[in-house]
Structures are given as C-alpha cells and as structure tokens.
Structure 1
C-alpha cells in the first residue's frame, strides 16, 4: 500500500514546537478516515526506528504519528543525552501528559483520521508514556508496549479504558520480571483487560534493528532479536485489528 508522510507541528501553550511525524495510507481522506495509532518513541526521540514504525503502520492501513514529546524535534544516539532529556520531561509528568494530549488532539483532528478509533504504542520510555496516557483516561481503545518502562504516573483506575498488550524480553536487565508482576497487580486491581507476551533470549530494545550498535556505542545492555521483533509485530497487528478494526 502506498503511503504519504508529513510533519505535524503542535505548539504548546509556552510556545514550544512539538515536531511529530505522520504516515498515512494514500487512500485515507476526509471521505475515508482510518483508525489512528500514536507511537511514543524510545528515549532517543523521533529517530529512524519510530518513523519506520509509523510507516509500517500506514502500510497496514492505519494513520500513525511518532510523537515528539521532547519538543523541537530533538533526537540523539547518545545515551547520556537521551537520559537527560527523558529525565527532564519525567520531572514534570503533567507537562509530559499535556504534550501527549495536545499531539493526540492535533492528530485526531486530521480529516483522514477517525478520532473515535485511536490507539497508542510505546517503546522503552515510550511504553511508560502510552500507559500513562491510558491511566490519564485519554480516549484510547488499545495500548501496546514493547520493552516498555512500566512505572506509573499514578495507578490505573476506572478511567483506564484501553485494552493492553505488553511485549517484554525475558533477558531485559532494565525492566525486570518483578516490574511485570507489579503491572499485573495494578491492572488487575483496575479490572483492565491485558495480555503479556514474554520473549525468551530477548533483551531491552529487542525490536530496534539499531539496538546492538547503540549498545556498543553507549555500553548499555540492549540487543536486537529479529525473531521476537517479527513475532511481536505480527501480534501487534492482530491486537490492533481486534480493537480498532
């Protein structure tokens, strides 16, 4: 399926430009709006990996947007810089969620996007972002995380309406299996419908083809696993089909 891509610029109330990246199926239009998926990137920002994800989603028939939560299109391959930016936005979680809501609103206002059929997927740091969006009660039908940070801005409650798919690597040294158990308890308490898939021999970052290179450059425990990446992508498309149509 042919697609079109463009930048979506959302301006915060204090004038910061969030430069997100949209991919749409060529046939999506105001007469033929399609379901929309927000993509929250890893801590590197809107680099090649999340852009590729949005393009793959568009080829699968969805409108998709890679969210620039840092603002000004900032991106890096340096872990220390990425960590600093991530910590800066996490210091003000209300601001971070306001940025996500702004991007969600601007994205769903696109005539080619069906604003009643929205979902979000997140990678690593982005996993926390999308779970927190659902915890805040944003209008998402489905949320998926890949090797995601599972810590909560506040625990899920009755406002959490999204179905959840959690994709995790058993060898992830950054997000432990204990964190998975804690998330299960949180979601059970809020009566959230969830599925957790754990992949053997998969480390943190296992969906990102650049993970090994980033690991070597930054001396951090990341790794790409092609088998887990492919299987989890197929599962994601099934999950989205079930929840967005």
Structure 2
C-alpha cells in the first residue's frame, strides 16, 4: 500500500516552528477523508520510532501526524537532554497544550483528514500529552496511551473530557508505578469517562519501542522492549481506534 508522507510546519504563539511528520493513507482525499490520529512521541522527539508508528497507522487506513512538541524538529537519544526538554515543556504546560492544539488544527485542516473523527495516541511523556489534550476538551474521540505518564495538567472533568481511553501499561514499569494507573482510573471514573486498562506481564517502560534496550544501555535507564506486549497492545489500539473513529 502506498502512503504519502510530508512535513507539516506550524508556527507556535512563541514564534517557534513546529515540524510535525504526517503520513496519509492511499486514497485519502477531500472526497474520501480518513480518520485522523495524532501521535505524541516519547521524550526523544520526532525520531524514527514515532515516524514508523505514523506510517503504520497510514497503512492501517488512518491519517496520522507526529506532534513536534519541542519545536524545530529537535530530537535526541540522550536521556539527560530529553529530560531537560521535557522539563521545559512541563514548566509551561499552557504553552505545551497550545502547541498541541495548533498541530491538531493544522492537521485536521488537511483535505484528506476527517476533522470529525480524530484520536490521539501517546508514548511515555506523550501519554501525558495525549490525556491532557482530552482533559483540555480538544475535539478527540479516542485516547490511547502506551507506557504513558498519567499525571494530569488538571483532572478530567465531566462534559469536558469527551474521549474514550485505552491504557497499555507494563507490569514491570519502574518509571510509572501502578499507583499512578490507579489514580488515573479514579480520575476517569470521577469524570464519567469510558476507559480500559491492559497491564502486560514482563513489560518495562518503553516496551513498544524496538530501540528501548539500546536506549537503556546508552543511558543507564530502566527501559526494555517486549515484542509480544508491543504486538498485542498495537492490535488492541487499532481495533479501539477503528471502533471509536468509525
């Protein structure tokens, strides 16, 4: 299946150019727009892995975009640098959400994207971003997180958080403890949000990313790839998005 990929440039309110990566499925057009999925990447930025996620989504029939939250296409394989950039974003979460809203707008303005059928998936730091986009009341119908940080910018509110949620979490995740997932469940219950949580055995933080073992070795951080959990959680996410965005 042939897909179309291109860079989507958006200029943030602070004058920073966001260089997001778009993949469109074959046959998507103004007459036949595809449901759209925004991808909030791990703290490494718009590296090869989220780009490959975008392309896989396009092959599955979705229009997809990786959000360049850091701006200027910044990416790294160094955990200390990634953490510094993430902390800068977390220090001004209104700015961060403004950037996500901007990319959502620019992406959904594409003729081949159905702006009425939008979802968002997030990985690690991006899991927080994905959930926060729904917490902010952005027009997304579905949120899926993989080994995501569930800590809210502000808690979900009934009537404002209008997405269904799928959470894929690793049982051996030392960076996001189960207590964080339990707190998320309580938060979503209080807001009347429909959600499903899958906990994968023998899966560490970063379990979907084939580069996780390499990044762990390079940076001395507790990450690990688990092919079985990665495959199962991907298939569940595709089914979830297909159902929510039909």
Query: Is 1:174–2:175 an aligned residue pair?
Result: yes
d(CA) in 1 for partners of 2:13 and 2:150? 28
Deviation (angstroms), 1:13: 2.2
Matched position secondary structure for 1:8: strand
Consecutive unaligned residues in structure 2, runs of 5 or more = none
- The alignment's TM-score, normalised by the length of structure 2, stands at 0.99
- Partner SS, residue 5 of structure 2: strand
Describe the superposition over 1:7-37 as per-residue Cα deviations: whole angstroms up to 9, x where unpaired: 0000012211000000001211111111000
**Aligned twin of 1:32:** 32
State the alpha-carbon separation in 2 of the partners of residues 74 and 150 from structure 1.
24
Q: What do you get for the CA RMSD once the two structures are aligned?
A: 0.5
Task: Give the structure 1 partner of residue 110 of structure 2.
Answer: 110
Tell me the residue number matched to 2:131: 131
Report whether the alignment pairs 1:186 with 2:187: yes
Whole-Å Cα distance in 1 between the matches of residues 186 and 28 of structure 2?
A: 39
Task: Tell me the equivalent position of 2:239.
Answer: 238
Gapped runs of 5+ residues in structure 1?
none
CA distance in 2, matches of 1:15, 1:190: 35
Partner of 1:220 in structure 2? 221
Runs of 4+ off more than 4 Å: none
Q: CA deviation at 1:163?
A: 0.1
CA distance in structure 1 between the partners assigned to 2:60 and 2:14 by the alignment: 36
